Amino acid sequence: MRTTSTPTHCPYCALQCGMALSPLPTGGVEVVERPDFPVNRGALCGKGRTAPAVLAPGVRLTSPLVRSGGALVPASWEEALDRTARELTRVRSAYGADALGVFGGGGLTNEKAYALGKFARVVLGTSQIDYNGRFCMSSAAAGGIKAFGLDRGLPFPMEDIPRTGCVILVGSNPAETMPPFLRFLHELRENGGTLVVVDPRRTRTAEQADLHLAPRPGTDLALALGLLHLVVAEGLVDEEYVAERTVGWEDARATAMAHWPEYVERITGVSVPELRETVRLFCEPEAAMVLTARGPEQQSKGTDTVGAWINLCLATGRAGRPLSGYGCLTGQGNGQGGREHGQKADQLPGYRKLDDPAARRHVAEVWGVDPDTLPGPGRSAYELLDALGTDVKSLLLMGSNPVVSAPRAAHVEERLRALDFLAVCDVVLSETAALADVVLPVTQWAEETGTTTNLEGRVLLRRRALTPPDGVRGDLEILHELADRLGVEKGFPTEPEEVFEELRRASAGGIADYSGITYRRLTEENGVFWPCPAAGPASATDPSPASAAHPGTPRLFLDRFATPDGRARFVPVSHRPAAEEPDEEYPVLLTTGRVVAQYQSGAQTRRVDELNAAAPGPFVELHPRLAARLGASEGDPLAVVSRRGRAVAPARITPGIRPDTVFMPFHWPGEGRANTLTNPALDPTSRMPEFKVCAVRVEIAAP
């Protein structure tokens, strides 16, 4: 173990807060502050502070497990890897390559995500690969690509946020999801800027706002269109900007004008005076921003909803200008980089499209294969999970827990059980790993080196601070061993820096160009923003040794957008209802989200005593008027029932939620599993499920 502290980054959310790990005399490490990192300046939430707790041998897996006689039992690595390779070969021989599925995670490093996508397409030859990041910001990505030609969570560094004039924060609760981010909003208000929060709940973040709008879940699209209508009606369109830097305004204007304020008030529940005040706050200062998160994005119309908020920014000249723009607050630790380099069903490294012949040729040259051998685009995440046990017979899963995190989770659990073979690589025995035929224990963030890309597009280097325990191997080593057993002896190195060097070549010239970034730069700088092309002419074989000359790109679109003509695109969109509206049988709306002490499916944070003490289990948040109609008191067990199933959790009564809405956090399995209820209706473009709104009924649970 090292004798000095090791600078690294938190393993949880997309802030990727800087921290350092210092060795303890008794073994293990403790987290110490790292005030030099600009994102968090040393501040950490409880999850970051307690992250080393999951490194303990009693908490995590330290031996491979194989299923024998219906139970998972310890096995050697040779046995576990041999069995995995044998089963993958058997399924491919019997049913074809596309019967092999691969499911990745937004917490994997860039190197792992890159290697996993390459493994699926080169070794297995399957098109059936996607990842849980599809459930994170795919709608924002699709909307950004349509409008700007490029998707990066924030097209500006977070340090710009306190210096703008107004931020409209839509469907985000960073006080719970990424607490260190809240300081940017505090500084915004200290500097005289204003904050508008759009959320059906009066969250801890909404309490900080100058104006809180509480729309009915599923109506964010109508809200944005109503604001744009008022911008037009009140003569606040930046006509010069629209003429010089955009196309498509007339069609977008026409659809917005069909959403007059009183009509939007009826749809959303947001009053006309609140709409007018929002427009005033947004348009009065010289600069302003709209930031969205899962609230508007995890809907069956999420891409259009993002498009409507982008249209508001474009019409007012609030994109591609200093201290202005539209951005998305990415959720997962490497949600940004995780999709840029190949584990998404339709993408190749560098954010290249899999169906683009030039992209296929470039990446195939790096990989040393014939581009014609690369499979085409496969199923999106939920569609892939839904096909398990039917078209897809086996699944290799890395860094995800869909038994808890997927929509219509009981159905997904049934599909996982129906597989011929399931192999899971994970740190802990998650609810999904417990169903596997083979479980492969992997190293954690503190035990390995690798890069991640935070929500700003800042590429960062996590550094190894600990030697992993015996019996644990890295994901890269597992892919190397499986590739070797499946007949591909070269092309899957186990050293992260070697993988990153290949990633640089594969990304060269792509939208997400990392070719000018090196491990050496990342040890000397506080991250490098992509795109960062090599200094000289980049190619698939040589990204140029003089690559350090490019400074990276903290701020996008200041001169032109990433479209062929350099202009942003207005996309005309219209409000439509959620896929599932309340009715007589299911009269209440359910929305879901996170709490501050737990993270995602809770597979790791639920194993930390301090975090469990703060958030021991699920709950149903409801308004006092709804509680009175039900005859429910604080703490009473409530059953929430949708067309997909039933979840039970204690009542938490608060006036800070709409009377027509209930809220459940989604971190827990069992009878309180919120995603038993959620609707897998998909956005037609992003293929994002409608996590954030479905129809339910609520009743007091029988004892």
β-pairing, 661-665 vs 645-653, is unpaired
Give the CA dihedral 653, 657, 659, 663, nearest 10 degrees.
-80
* C-beta of residue 387 within 8 angstroms of C-beta of residue 414: no
pLDDT value, residue 541: 43
Share of the chain above pLDDT 70, in %: 98
Q: Which of 358, 368, 314 is nearest to 143 (CA)?
A: 314
pLDDT value, residue 547: 42
Q: Is the peptide bond before 531 cis (omega within 30 degrees of 0)?
A: yes
pLDDT in tens, 17-69: 999 999 998 888 999 999 999 999 999 999 999 999 999 888 999 999 999 99
DSSP string covering 296-325, please? Answer: HHSSTTHHHHHHHHHHHHHHTT-SSSTT-E
In whole angstroms, what is the distance from residue 419 CA to residue 386 CA? 11
Residue 447 has what DSSP assignment? G
pLDDT in tens, 85-137: 999 999 999 999 999 999 999 999 999 999 999 999 999 999 999 999 999 88
SS3 502: helix
* C-beta of residue 180 within 8 angstroms of C-beta of residue 17: yes
Q: Which has more pLDDT, 161 or 136?
A: 161
SS3 168: strand
pLDDT value, residue 536: 56
* C-beta of residue 217 within 8 angstroms of C-beta of residue 200: yes
- Across residues 209-219, what is the average pLDDT? 98
The neighbour count for residue 497, using CB atoms within 10 Å, is 15
pLDDT in tens, 241-275: 999 999 999 999 999 999 999 999 999 999 999 99
Cα–Cα separations (whole angstroms), residue 38 to 16, 34, 42, 179, 596: 11, 9, 8, 15, 22
* Residues forming beta bridges with residue 588, ordered by sequence position: 696
* C-beta of residue 175 within 8 angstroms of C-beta of residue 349: no
pLDDT at 501 exceeding the cut of 70: yes
- Across residues 278-292, what is the average pLDDT? 98
* C-beta of residue 313 within 8 angstroms of C-beta of residue 291: no
The neighbour count for residue 654, using CB atoms within 10 Å, is 15
pLDDT at 676 exceeding the cut of 70: yes
Distance between first and last Cα of the chain: 52
pLDDT in tens, 573-624: 999 999 999 999 999 999 999 999 999 999 999 999 999 999 999 999 999 9
Edge-to-edge order in the sheet of strand 528-529: 450-453, 458-462, 528-529
pLDDT value, residue 3: 59
- Alpha helix locations (H) across 1-109? 46-49, 77-95
In whole angstroms, what is the distance from residue 480 CA to residue 476 CA? 6
DSSP string covering 243-260, please? Answer: HHHEE-HHHHHHHHHTS-
pLDDT at 543 exceeding the cut of 60: no
Residue 201 has what DSSP assignment? B
pLDDT at 537 exceeding the cut of 80: no
- Across residues 561-575, what is the average pLDDT? 97
Edge-to-edge order in the sheet of strand 29-32: 6-9, 18-23, 29-32
The neighbour count for residue 286, using CB atoms within 10 Å, is 12
> pTM (2 decimals)?
0.95
- Across residues 354-366, what is the average pLDDT? 97
pLDDT interval class at 333 (50, 70, 90): confident
Q: Which of 226, 129, 211 is nearest to 169 (CA)?
A: 211
pLDDT value, residue 544: 46
Q: Which of 2, 99, 12 is nearest to 420 (CA)?
A: 99
* C-beta of residue 164 within 8 angstroms of C-beta of residue 287: yes
Residues of 465-475 as b/e, b for ≥16 C-beta within 10 angstroms? bbebbeebbbb
pLDDT at 546 exceeding the cut of 50: no
- Average pLDDT in the chain: 95
In whole angstroms, what is the distance from residue 445 CA to residue 150 CA? 29
Placement of tokens 């987290």 in the chain? 31
